[in-house]
Amino acid sequence: MTGSFTLRAPTIAFDHESTLVAVMELSNVSWLVGAAVPGVERRPLRKVAPRDIAGVLVMLGSWQDEAVRAGRTVTRVVVAYEAGRDGFWIARELQRHGIEVYVIQPSSIPVDRRFRRSKTDRIDINLLLRTLVAWLRGEPRVCAMVAIPSVAEEDARRPTREREGLVVGLLAIENRIRSILTRFGLEGFNPRPAGALERVVALRDRDGAALPPRTAGELRRLVEHHGFVASQIKTVEGELATLATDPATGDLGPMVTLLTRIPGISVKSATLLVFECLGRHFPNAKALGSFAGLVGTPYDSGGSQREQGISKDGSPRLRRSLIQLAWRWLRLNPASPLSRWFVERTAGAKHGRIRKIMVVALARKLLVALWKMVRNGIVPADVRLKAA
């Protein structure tokens, strides 16, 4: 799987006189490419058709020739673009042509804080170019880069994400069914058990009369759709169960198996944790918590000091899973130091705001403990693993 990656610092010294630096502003209409060419004072800017990698390569070659005419020899070509809808296929294809590629985390780029600021593709290109050059020079905290995953890594993340979308769709269908029946004073209908289609056909209103034909037809179609989505969820969950034994996942499969030995961690939760977070490489626990969006964001300026809550960077699905796992941890591992720490901090409270706040801190601590477990084999204290 992908090796260690430094998010905030380049690993190669930057030489202005021999490095061609280019950035791309991507859209579905056109791609705008700008560059800083060695020996050339102007900043060239050109458009290519979307997804035209060949056109980008021709453009980079022409700028290399321009540098030669200016008396410079280009020995390094660096290209960057913002992470977004196009994903990482652009980076992988450019890398296959020997180009050094970086994907910039958009939220890490500093922008003008005026309420009304000019925003054009040309301005965005210049901002990206200045940011990338500063990052290549090694200036601290200019921006953050995103690790470029392999095709196999991206593919392994699909089942958990697909399942989440299907579950959201399933709940939406159930809410629509409940809303329709509420208009007739009916409640308690559950579309999940077998035979739901027969039961919905036999529904009667409070006076014992059959439901109106169009309403009955809509309900029937919703129940059929519900059954179809439920069958898709079962199929995806079957794929999740086989990920741990898939050779293409490399060393991540054993991590999933190890996590499932902890009481309260299911195959679905372990798969999401490993492929969305723990399978990545982090320099320290602080970077891990920051990736999950579970670190604080203090405001300390002049005489004003306050805590703004967690940063909520990264994946919402990962944070939701960690919060749910923290609640299960408290119930299933009450003797662990983490659970005792939570009880002490909440003063034994059974309900209330303090528990909701502290469970976020517990989720962060639990994430670090699981990270140490899958990376270094350090099992959380007082946790009895299930048999392998």
What is the C-alpha separation between 368 and 191, in angstroms, rounded?
Answer: 40
Our count of domains for the chain comes to 3
Tokens of 158: 């699909």
Of 237, 239, 274, the closest CA to residue 255 belongs to 274
**Does residue 3 lie in a domain region?**
no
Does position 96 have pLDDT exceeding 50, yes or no? Answer: yes
DSSP 22: E
Say yes or no: 46 and 139 in one domain: yes
Residue 113 lies in a domain: yes
- For residue 5, is pLDDT > 80? no
Per DSSP, what are the bridge partners of residue 299?
Answer: 306
- Which residues contact residue 282 at a Cβ distance below 8 angstroms, ignoring those fewer than 6 apart? 288, 291, 371
Residues 211 and 256 reside in one and the same domain: no
What CA–CA distance (Å, rounded) separates 208 from 319? 47
Q: Is residue 12 situated within a structural domain?
A: no
Residue 8 domain-assigned (yes or no): no
Do 143 and 157 belong to one domain? no
What are the pLDDT digits (tens) for 190-227?
Answer: 999 999 999 998 999 888 899 999 999 999 999 999 99
User: Are both 223 and 278 inside the same structural domain?
Assistant: no
- Do 244 and 257 contact (CB within 8 A), yes or no? yes
Structural contact between residues 349 and 355, judged by C-beta atoms closer than 8 angstroms: yes
Backbone angles phi and psi of 58, in degrees to 5? -60, -40
CATH of the domain at 32: 3.30.420
**Alpha-carbon span 34 to 37, nearest angstrom:** 10
Least confident of 28-42, 61-75, 99-113: 99-113
What tens digit of pLDDT does each residue of 131-166 get?
A: 999 999 998 889 889 889 999 889 999 999 999 999
Same domain, 37 and 126: yes
Residues 161 and 230 grouped into a single domain: yes
The Cα–Cα gap between 363 and 369 comes to 10
| Same domain? 262 vs 236 | no
Task: Give pTM, 2 decimals.
Answer: 0.84
- pLDDT class of 1 with cuts at 50, 70, 90: very low
Residue 351 counted as domain residue: yes
Same domain, 263 and 159: no
Residues 334, 231 share a domain: no
Decide if 243 contacts 336 (C-beta within 8 A): no
Write down which residue in 148, 165, 200 finishes a domain: 148
pLDDT band at 7 (very low <50, low <70, confident <90, very high): low
Residue 1 lies in a domain: no
Looking from the CA of 388 toward its CB, the CA atoms found within 13 Å total 5
**Residue 256 and residue 210 share a domain:** no
Residue where a domain stops, chosen among 191, 211, 243 = 243
- The backbone torsions φ and ψ at residue 82, rounded to the nearest 5 degrees and listed phi first, read -80, 145
Note down the domain range covering 330. Answer: 249-376
Do 199 and 158 lie in one domain? The reply is yes
Q: How far apart are CA 341 and CA 74, in angstroms?
A: 57
Give the SS3 label for residue 251.
coil
70 occurs within a structural domain: yes
Q: Do 208 and 298 share a domain, yes or no?
A: no
Residue 386 falls within a domain, yes or no?
no
Using alpha carbons, select from 88, 248, 254, 290 the residue that is nearest to residue 159: 248
The domain boundary, picked from 243, 272, 294, lies at: 243
Give the number of residues written for the chain: 388
